Chain A
Amino acid sequence: MSYLEYNVKSTPTGLRKILYLNWPLTLLLITVASVGFLQLYSVAGGSLSPWAEPQMKRFALGMTAMLVVAMVPIWFWRNMSVVAYLLSVVLLIAVELVGIEGKGAQRWIDIGFMRLQPSELMKITLIMLLAAYYDWLPARRTSHPFWVLVPVMMILFPTYLVLRQPDLGTSILLVTAGGGLMFLAGVHWAYFAAVIASGVGLVTAVFESRGTPWQLIKDYQYRRIDTFLDPASDPLGAGYHITQSKIALGSGGWTGRGFMQGTQSRLNFLPEKHTDFIFTTLAEEFGFVGGISLLSVYALIILFCVASALATRDRFSSLLTLGVAITFFLFFAVNMSMVMGLAPVVGVPLPMVSYGGSAMLVLMVAFGLVQSAHIHRPRGRSR
């Protein structure tokens, strides 16, 4: 549907748009962010510095960004998709060339007033581009091999760049979110079945070959995979995080030890207690009740996004909103699995709660797009 078909007259204009925001979604976001402030306050030993206060400021900035993005008509964003995607790719390449090293990986570029992490930006712009692509592509061509290859390239190229940094967490997120969107857009089941089957086959082959003369990878690579999959085999290294994390969770019990009462001694030398592992402190202090509540709020956010996506007849808006929902889902699902010892440790933050500016800002902008789609959805006459 081209933008001429939008029923422009019946969409709200000017400041009236604020009334048409997806208010439940907004309130849920504020709730989650507040949980973050509370935990950062607690982790710092009952102090606004060094984490809670900057986080609040960033959230205020993110809120503003969300509102600004929401006020701009969704068709503008659709037309910008290609440009935004290309810009992110250029920035990713720039990281290769002039990036700042940090945590043993090259992820940032310095643009004067702030540090930009293009891989974060890529998470939205990829979703935007894929949504715009499937909006443009006639539905009957969706499963044509050529028209499947195009989005696959769109996903794999930036993924390759991100993997080179190296940033495994973001790479997984990009591939899974992109694949998810292709699935939603209606690409034939068989493609997904084939990819999953060959992936499983490859992994099996690699492991089956271990110890045989035709071994596929080197011994030390196996050992690395071992500690990655089973951190407990390296108790002073990777396993330490997980063991401590599980103890913290477990000692929380039904209702937890109470706010600021978590004995964080075991987390004291855990550098990520305010970022990736923040859920452990929440679960320790508020117990199962607290943990399940946060999980429910996350689920509600997804639910409101899905509802909003299904309520619009604009294909771009639907796909975009669902794409953002998938990304958000992956964030918290991967993080929580990791913290609970269900998945290997890959650096993925708990969305809107973990300390960190880039990730939060990007998510807020993404929700700005969702809001814009919601405000500017086709209304009135026909349904």
Chain B
Amino acid sequence: MKRKVKDQGHSQGKLTRRTAVMGGLQLAFVGALGLRMRHLQVDQADQFRLLAEENRINIRLIAPTRGELFDRNGKVLARNVQSYRLIIVREDAGDVDQVIANLSKLVRLDPGELEQAMVEMRRSPPFLPITLADRVTWEDLSRVAVNAPALPGITPEVGLTRVYPRGPDLAHVVGYVGPVSDYDLEKIEDPEPVLRIPRFHIGKVGLEAKQEDLLRGKAGAKRVEVNATGRVMRELDRQEGQEGADIQLTIDAELQAYTQARLKGESASAVVIDCETGDLRAIVSSPSFDPNLFVQGISVADYSRLRDDKYRPLANKSVQGVYPPGSTFKMVTALAALEAGSVSPNDTVWCPGHMEISGRRFHCWKRGGHGHMDLLNSLKQSCDVYYYDVAIKVGIDRIAEMARKLGIGVRHDIPMSAVARGLAADKAWKQETYGQNWQIGDTANASIGQGYILASPLQLAVMSARIATGRKVTPRLVKSIDGVEQPNLSTEPLGLNENNLRQVRKGMFAVANDRRGTGYRSRIIEETMRMAGKSGTSQVRNITKAERAAGVISNADLPWERRDHALYVAYAPADNPKYAVAVVVEHGGGGSSAAAPIVRDVMLQALYDGTPPLEAYPTGDRDRIQAQQEELQRDQDEREISQSDRA
């Protein structure tokens, strides 16, 4: 398209004219801005300077009080206590080094804290208060008050500090708070101003972090007039903030404490779930740590000790740890097969101690074999060959589907850190992850909870509760928020055939009560509280052909980290399930010997809501149990004494 020169010239001229108009407007605006600037900065300067110098109006944020945490019976799990800290205003202090030197003669100042304060001081204007020492004792405070004339610029301030009165018991559940770090601020888009208050504490892990929004509350603000030294002259107005919500957990602190004590010395975890409501009565991971150490900032030595411990105290094994569930998975395989109609409870399989599957030999844990096995016996004696056979008939996809239905391989929505998903592997998963086809041998491994199958103790407890009730028991950690009861989500039926469930429950009952059951030695003899359970022992190593020929090395002869994981899941009372319990002892050896006694003890403690009578235990065990109970009681007494010291 070719334009006429005239047309072009015309539009060029018009453009120039319009540009002149536009430019004129812009220039006028710039002029107006300049005049306004002059008005503010020159004409009104004196007035504003007066405002700035003598009567600075300042907004001070009022930090909200953090919500407190309680257990299901109203016992305090986390609260705020008044603490005193010493602050310094550089401007008022004059010779800061001299003042600090004077102060350190009276009060022991933490060198790390002091260094941090010096850094803060260099970076902020002279009239901003900087914390010199946190959590000062009453004696120290009085000493400072008496010597005030020698300490210009130093003032005591009252603040709130988070305290976890139950110490290590709930460290993994509740987590802890700590000062906002630069890293935290970066993660949050548009952080609230309150987060910028020096040393404001927010939840770092666990429930404290997951429910941060509820617990924190809303900051208030007050407008104050301050004079040139930064002293508040008067308060102009104030907007009250909103306190954080109090949260009541489903946890029973006493049961939690007992379980924690019972797991002492092991790298283990335990979960107790209420079969009716899904309430988590106890979630324990052992060993634990003291969350109070983290509130102020933990020392490097303490931290590296926790980090380098091979028992991993910082990890929350009960919801974050995943393990091959071993034989505790056999209920899943059995239910999948029964539901699909691939087997009936009375069908038997011959167990010669091993089974050939596509050219590979899969072994039963019992070398000599179990002989004829039906469903009941296979669960009771935990025969592996029966499950290889059944699993191949029903196929992995149905087993994985059943696992997910029972709560394995799905992430349960509870407000704790790093809740694991576990893995209910199926054909599609393997294709997606490894680009390989599912092998029949993989099915055999999965049928006994080895290979690709992974579950957390929480998931195993959920699985047991679901088998026990036939309902979709959904774990719940928060009982009420500010007194508002949270909904019970555990009423929906699973949609499994009641007859099939009954067969599996019969098997689990036999495990724990039949003379030949793997859990017989850890039974409950109180008739109204009989337990149904299932043991599991999951390998963490491959047993070579050569080793098998020479005789499998027993766990006691292996180094700790190569021993088998011990697992046990159970529910009780068997005829009217109240609680389900899952215990995993890392590298603990056999499930029936290492994990089952713990499950039994915890279960009884839960059922009796306190120390159970010895009559609930089998006659032969009573002496041993009594000694154990006394020892645990002693431990707990000692701990209570040390806790009252801290408070």
**Of A50, A263, A313, A333, which contacts B125 at CB under 8 A?**
A263
Interface of B is mostly: helix
A247 in the interface (beta carbon within 8 A): yes
Nearest CB in chain B: distance from A298 CB, A: 8
Q: Which of B113-150 contact A (CB under 8 A)?
A: 122-125, 127-128
A240 in the interface (beta carbon within 8 A): yes
**Of B11, B18, B48, which contacts A183 at CB under 8 A?**
B18
Closest to B185 in A: A50
**Of A47, A266, A287, which contacts B56 at CB under 8 A?**
A266
- The answer on a CB contact under 8 Å between B48 and A249 is yes
- The answer on a CB contact under 8 Å between B30 and A250 is no
- Give the interface centre of B41, B48, B221 by most chain A CB atoms within 10 Å: B41
**Of B14, B16, B36, which contacts A310 at CB under 8 A?**
B16
Closest to B194 in A: A269
A14 in the interface (beta carbon within 8 A): no
- The answer on a CB contact under 8 Å between A288 and B41 is yes
- The answer on a CB contact under 8 Å between A250 and B123 is no
- The answer on a CB contact under 8 Å between A240 and B41 is no
A309 in the interface (beta carbon within 8 A): yes
Nearest CB in chain A: distance from B206 CB, A: 25
Query: Which of A55-63, A97-105, A356-364 contacts its partner?
Result: A97-105
Q: Which of B439-486 contact A (CB under 8 A)?
A: none
A322 in the interface (beta carbon within 8 A): yes
Nearest CB in chain B: distance from A239 CB, A: 10
Closest to B51 in A: A247
Closest to B42 in A: A288
**Of A44, A102, A306, A313, which contacts B12 at CB under 8 A?**
A313
- The answer on a CB contact under 8 Å between B57 and A253 is no
Q: Which of A238-293 contact B (CB under 8 A)?
A: 240, 243-244, 246-254, 263-266, 268-269, 271, 283, 287-288, 291-292
Q: A139-B7, A184-B18, A236-B239 are in contact. Are A250 and B26 (CB under 8 A)?
A: no
Q: A138-B3, A253-B41, A265-B128 are in contact. Are A240 and B59 (CB under 8 A)?
A: yes
- The answer on a CB contact under 8 Å between B45 and A269 is no
Query: In the assembled complex, which residues on chain B have CB atoms less than 8 Å from the CB atom of A252?
Result: 41, 45
Give Cα distance in the complex from A319 to B48, angstroms. 43
Q: Which of A207-256 contact B (CB under 8 A)?
A: 235-236, 240, 243-244, 246-254
**Of A142, A184, A265, A342, which contacts B36 at CB under 8 A?**
A342
**Of B1, B41, B230, which contacts A287 at CB under 8 A?**
B41
Q: Which of B1-22 contact A (CB under 8 A)?
A: 1, 3, 7-8, 10-12, 14-16, 18-19, 22
- The answer on a CB contact under 8 Å between A235 and B237 is yes
Nearest CB in chain B: distance from A189 CB, A: 10
- The answer on a CB contact under 8 Å between B30 and A295 is yes
Q: A186-B15, A292-B37 are in contact. Are A250 and B52 (CB under 8 A)?
A: yes
- Give the interface centre of B8, B59, B61, B193 by most chain A CB atoms within 10 Å: B59
Query: In the assembled complex, which residues on chain B have CB atoms less than 8 Å from the CB atom of A313?
Result: 12
Query: In the assembled complex, which residues on chain B have CB atoms less than 8 Å from the CB atom of A298?
Result: 30
Query: In the assembled complex, which residues on chain A have CB atoms less than 8 Å from the CB atom of B223?
Result: 235-236
Query: In the assembled complex, which residues on chain A have CB atoms less than 8 Å from the CB atom of B365?
Result: none
- The answer on a CB contact under 8 Å between B14 and A254 is no
- The answer on a CB contact under 8 Å between B45 and A333 is no
Q: Which of B48-76 contact A (CB under 8 A)?
A: 48-49, 51-53, 56-59, 61
Query: In the assembled complex, which residues on chain B have CB atoms less than 8 Å from the CB atom of A271?
Result: 190, 193, 196
**Of A236, A251, A326, A329, which contacts B48 at CB under 8 A?**
A251
- The answer on a CB contact under 8 Å between A1 and B41 is no
Query: In the assembled complex, which residues on chain A have CB atoms less than 8 Å from the CB atom of B3?
Result: 1, 138-139
Give Cα distance in the complex from A180 to B22, angstroms. 8
- The answer on a CB contact under 8 Å between A309 and B14 is no
Query: In the assembled complex, which residues on chain B have CB atoms less than 8 Å from the CB atom of A183?
Result: 18, 22
Query: In the assembled complex, which residues on chain B have CB atoms less than 8 Å from the CB atom of A44?
Result: 123
- The answer on a CB contact under 8 Å between B58 and A266 is yes
Give Cα distance in the complex from A264 to B38, angstroms. 21
A92 in the interface (beta carbon within 8 A): no
B303 in the interface (beta carbon within 8 A): no
- Give the interface centre of B37, B128, B221 by most chain A CB atoms within 10 Å: B37
Query: In the assembled complex, which residues on chain B have CB atoms less than 8 Å from the CB atom of A265?
Result: 56, 58, 125, 127-128, 226, 230
B614 in the interface (beta carbon within 8 A): no
B104 in the interface (beta carbon within 8 A): no
- The answer on a CB contact under 8 Å between B52 and A251 is yes
B298 in the interface (beta carbon within 8 A): no
Nearest CB in chain A: distance from B72 CB, A: 35
A340 in the interface (beta carbon within 8 A): yes
Give Cα distance in the complex from A310 to B22, angstroms. 13
Interface size class of A (residues with CB under 8 A): 35 or more
B34 in the interface (beta carbon within 8 A): yes
B27 in the interface (beta carbon within 8 A): yes
Give Cα distance in the complex from A103 to B191, angstroms. 9
Query: In the assembled complex, which residues on chain B have CB atoms less than 8 Å from the CB atom of A264?
Result: 125
**Of B12, B57, B190, B196, which contacts A243 at CB under 8 A?**
B57
- The answer on a CB contact under 8 Å between A337 and B33 is yes
Question: Interface code A330-341, partner B: CB below 8 Å = 1, 0 otherwise?
Answer: 000100110010
- The answer on a CB contact under 8 Å between B58 and A318 is no
A199 in the interface (beta carbon within 8 A): no
Query: In the assembled complex, which residues on chain B have CB atoms less than 8 Å from the CB atom of A309?
Result: 19
Query: In the assembled complex, which residues on chain A have CB atoms less than 8 Å from the CB atom of B341?
Result: none
**Of B1, B48, B239, which contacts A247 at CB under 8 A?**
B48
Closest to B182 in A: A50
A315 in the interface (beta carbon within 8 A): yes
A130 in the interface (beta carbon within 8 A): no
- The answer on a CB contact under 8 Å between A184 and B19 is yes
Give Cα distance in the complex from A180 to B19, angstroms. 10
- The answer on a CB contact under 8 Å between A288 and B36 is no
Question: Interface code B269-291, partner A: CB below 8 Å = 1, 0 otherwise?
Answer: 00000000000000000000000
Give Cα distance in the complex from A295 to B38, angstroms. 12
Q: A253-B42, A265-B128 are in contact. Are A291 and B37 (CB under 8 A)?
A: yes
Give Cα distance in the complex from A184 to B57, angstroms. 46
Query: In the assembled complex, which residues on chain A have CB atoms less than 8 Å from the CB atom of B47?
Result: 250
B200 in the interface (beta carbon within 8 A): no
Give Cα distance in the complex from A269 to B219, angstroms. 13
Query: In the assembled complex, which residues on chain A have CB atoms less than 8 Å from the CB atom of B38?
Result: 288, 292
- The answer on a CB contact under 8 Å between A251 and B49 is yes
- The answer on a CB contact under 8 Å between A2 and B19 is no
Nearest CB in chain B: distance from A16 CB, A: 28
Nearest CB in chain A: distance from B125 CB, A: 6
Closest to B239 in A: A236
Nearest CB in chain A: distance from B15 CB, A: 6
A140 in the interface (beta carbon within 8 A): yes
Query: In the assembled complex, which residues on chain A have CB atoms less than 8 Å from the CB atom of B11?
Result: 139, 142, 186, 315
Question: Interface code A298-334, partner B: CB below 8 Å = 1, 0 otherwise?
Answer: 1100100010011001010011001000100100010
- The answer on a CB contact under 8 Å between B30 and A269 is no
**Of A136, A247, A295, which contacts B37 at CB under 8 A?**
A295
A45 in the interface (beta carbon within 8 A): yes
- The answer on a CB contact under 8 Å between B190 and A103 is yes
Query: In the assembled complex, which residues on chain B have CB atoms less than 8 Å from the CB atom of A46?
Result: 123
Give Cα distance in the complex from A318 to B13, angstroms. 12
- Give the interface centre of A44, A283, A336 by most chain B CB atoms within 10 Å: A336
- The answer on a CB contact under 8 Å between B14 and A186 is yes
Give Cα distance in the complex from A183 to B125, angstroms. 49
> With A269-B193, A340-B40 given, can you name 13 additional A-B contacts, CB distance below 8 Å?
A1-B8, A136-B1, A139-B11, A184-B22, A249-B40, A250-B47, A250-B52, A254-B41, A268-B128, A292-B37, A306-B23, A315-B12, A318-B15
The 7 A-B residue pairs with the shortest CB-CB distance, nearest first, are A250-B48, A251-B52, A139-B11, A102-B189, A288-B41, A253-B45, A103-B190
**Chain A interface residues toward B at CB < 8 A:** 1-2, 44-47, 50, 100-104, 136, 138-140, 142, 180, 183-186, 235-236, 240, 243-244, 246-254, 263-266, 268-269, 271, 283, 287-288, 291-292, 295, 298-299, 302, 306, 309-310, 313, 315, 318-319, 322, 326, 329, 333, 336-337, 340, 342
Q: Can you list 7 A-B contacts with CB-CB less than 8 angstroms, sorted by A residue number?
A: A1-B3, A139-B10, A185-B18, A264-B125, A291-B41, A329-B26, A333-B26
